[in-house]
Structures are given as C-alpha cells and as structure tokens.
Amino acid sequence: MKNQNIRLTQMVTSAGCAAKLFPFLLSDLLKDINWFSNDNVIIGFDCCDDAGVYKINDNYALIHTTDFFTPVVDDPYTFGMIAAANSLSDVYAMGGTPMNALNIVAYPQKEDLSILKEILRGGNDKAKEAGCVIIGGHTVDASNIIYGLAVTGYVIPKNIKSNFTSQPGDRLILTKALGTGVLNNCIKYDKLDEDIYNELVNSMTRLNKYASDCMLKINANACTDITGFGLAGHSMQMAKASNVVFHISVYELPILSGAITAIEKKMLTRADKSNRIYTQEYVINEGNIDEKLEHLLYDPQTSGGLLISVDSNDTKILLQELHNAGDESARIIGYVEDSSKYKAGTIVFHF
C-alpha cells in the first residue's frame, strides 16, 4: 500500500452499524408506503425480520439481504472482512445458506485506490470462507467510505428461522459478547490494548455460520441477529413479532473485554440514545440499575451474534453445541413468557 499510516476511521463521520438511520425515524418512513407484494413473498416488511424471503417452490426459497457501513477499524483488509461477515449474518439468522453476493462500494477516488483493493480483498476472503461467490457490484465516488454486500441465499421453506416464532417457555441464547459499539469508538477516538483489539476483531470477523448450523441441528424456534439497534432493539422486534415477552438477566450477558472501561471513558455512540428512544415504550427494568451495564443493552453491535429462542428442553444441548463449534461466548441470557402480564414486545431487563 502507498500510505501505511492512513486511518480509515478518521476518514468517516461515524463508524459501523452506529451509522444507521435512527430506528424510530426508519419506522415512520416505511409504514405509509403501500409496498407491492405477491403470494411468493414469505417474509417482507411486516415483521422487521432480518432478511426478505421469496418462495421459488415448495422446496426452495431465496433469502435476500443487504448491509453496508463505514469503517470500524483502521486496517482496510480487516474492515473488508468485518463488513462481509456482517452482511452475511442476516442469511444465517434466517437459517439459510449464502450463495452469491454483490459488492456495494462508496470510496473517494482521489484517495489511494490500493486501500480500496485491500477492503475488497478482505471481503472476498470472508465470503470465500462462507462459500459465497461475489459475482459483481457497484461503486460510487463519495467522500465517506462505505463497504458491504448484497447477499442472496437459499433455504428450504420449512426450515426458515424467523423472528416471529418464539414460543412461551423458550430460553434465549446470545452467541456473541456485547460491546462492539463502544470499543469501535475507542479505535476512532482513543486507543485499545492489543489483546482487547484482537478479541474485538475476532468477534466481528467470526461468521454466524457456525452458530446457525448448531441452531438448525437442534431445530430452534426463532432467531435474529443483534446489530445496529442493539440487544434492546432487536429483542423488542423479535418479542413484538412473536407476540411474547422477553425476560433478560443483565448479569448473564457476555461482554467483550474493555467494553466497561470504554463506557467509563464515555465512548458511547449516538445510537445509545436513539435505541433508547426506539424501545422506551417496551423496556421495563427490574432491580437496581447498573448504568454501565445498561449502556450495553443499547450499544449498536457491528457483526454481532445471534439471539436464539429455543425450547427449554433443548437449551443445554444447543449451548454445548455452540461451545463445541467455537462460539465460546454463547450464554443463556433469559426466557420467553406469554403476553398476559405485559404487552407483547416488552423486554424485562433484570438487574
């Protein structure tokens, strides 16, 4: 590369999934449009699910998703891997297999183009790990660097894992540790210890493929991935869609090393506030609130883990399968209840 000292995070205004439009604004934007559909659409806008699913026949359906964002790390190759892993995640959350993808690129062409080449190389290598072929893409000359993928996957319709089939009595398992938002802000505005940085990068570059394989093996009831709307936002969407209530034990949450220190340093993202606004009518806190841990509930995750709703009888088996597959951070974090006591979509955080 021509310029070894360039810092990607300094070339953009906000980092990763924290750069999303505020979720409450997005909801308002989408709701008044009469979206065209047909009988082949199995999953569309209705449930705020992770991806769209289009039925080809009784044995075959296509999963379509796209995700892209600004750099969360300074190394171009690493950023490419993270962006690709994040883009592929929605297919895995639906229980599907990625087939092919298109690159989505915004890059200031006045800058060193060898940097962009490294971003694309990182994305290609991560897609290759997933067995997903990148077959094209689109670029624009823009001041903010953006990279991601539009991914097509496939799934047998009966095997789809949606976010609207969580059942009362299920247990909730989270497969990756929380804290990527505040730690990514440390990269941009402060610094990270090498060991903490490596743990963060390993988490963000890890495909959810392995967790998805375990989920399918056990035949879990429902799933979503935790990304820009944080644990609170994506949990609320899943609970609302399933017409249930989630109870989550805050002290059971897996947390990335250094995340609490980052919160103490006030390395909060703008999404900390917007995700609180988005979920405020559905969140109940019980116990003495630990404000540092509370921030993690709203922290936007970049390439976060899967939140899996599984029958209580299969919980320990699934957890062991996840650990054996390499998702060592996976933990049981709560349970599902019917909506007789609280309105559907409520998340009860137990401190």
Could you tell me the CATH number of the domain that includes residue 13? 3.30.1330.10
Predicted pLDDT at 4: 54
Query: Rounded mean pLDDT of 87-106?
Result: 97
Helices and strands, number each (H, E), in the chain: 11, 13
Boundary-marking domain end, from 159, 185, 214? 159
pLDDT digits (tens, 9 = 90+) for 41-88: 988 876 676 789 999 998 999 999 999 999 999 999 999 999 999 999
Per the CB < 8 A criterion, the answer to whether 221 and 234 are in contact is: no
| 132 and 182 together in one domain | no
Cα distances from 334 to residues 219, 227, 253, 338, in angstroms, run 19, 19, 9, 14
Distances (CA, A) of 318 to 150, 195, 325: 30, 29, 10
Contact 302, 181 (CB under 8 A): yes
Please report the pLDDT score of residue 6 as a whole number. 73
* Domain co-membership, 187 together with 146: no
| Statement to judge: residues 224 and 271 lie in one domain | yes
Q: Are residues 220 and 153 in the same domain?
A: no
* Active-site residue, 132 included: no
pLDDT at site 49: 66
Q: Which domain holds residue 274?
A: 171-350
* CB within 8 Å of 250: residues ≥ 6 apart: 290, 293, 294, 297, 349, 350, 351
- Of the candidates 17, 48, 132, 223, the residue annotated as catalytic is 17
Instruction: Tell me: pLDDT of 18 over 70.
Output: no
pLDDT of the residue at 1:
39
Domain assignment of residue 301, yes or no:
yes
pLDDT at 350: 98
**Residue 308 shares a structural domain with residue 189:** yes
Same domain, 197 and 345: yes
Paired residues of 176 in beta bridges: none
Residues 179 and 145 in one domain: no
Same domain? For 86 and 135 the reply is yes
Q: For residues 232 and 225, what is the distance between their CA atoms, to the nearest angstrom?
A: 12
Q: Is the confidence at residue 153, as pLDDT, over 60?
A: yes
Judgement on whether residues 207 and 337 belong to the same structural domain of the protein: yes
In the chain, % of residues over pLDDT 90: 83
Residues 281-317 have pLDDT tens digits of 999 999 999 999 999 999 999 999 999 999 999 999 9
Q: Does 342 reside within a domain? A: yes
Confidence of residue 2 (pLDDT cuts 50, 70, 90): very low
Mean per-residue pLDDT of the chain? 93
**Dist. CA 184–CA 181, nearest whole Å:** 5
130 and 234 housed in the same domain: no
- The total of structural domains in the chain comes to 2
- pTM equals 0.93
- Does residue 15 have a pLDDT over 80? no
Which of 159, 180, 210 corresponds to the end of one domain?
159
Residue 3 lies in a domain: no
Do 195 and 152 belong together in one domain?
Answer: no
Report pLDDT for 27.
Answer: 67
The pLDDT of residue 20 is 63
Of 138, 159, 180, the last residue of a domain is: 159
Average pLDDT value for residue range 157-183? 96
Q: Which residue has the tokens 């995340």?
A: 259
Whether residue 218 has pLDDT greater than 90: yes
Mean pLDDT score, 23-29: 69
Please tell me whether residues 145 and 205 are part of one structural domain: no
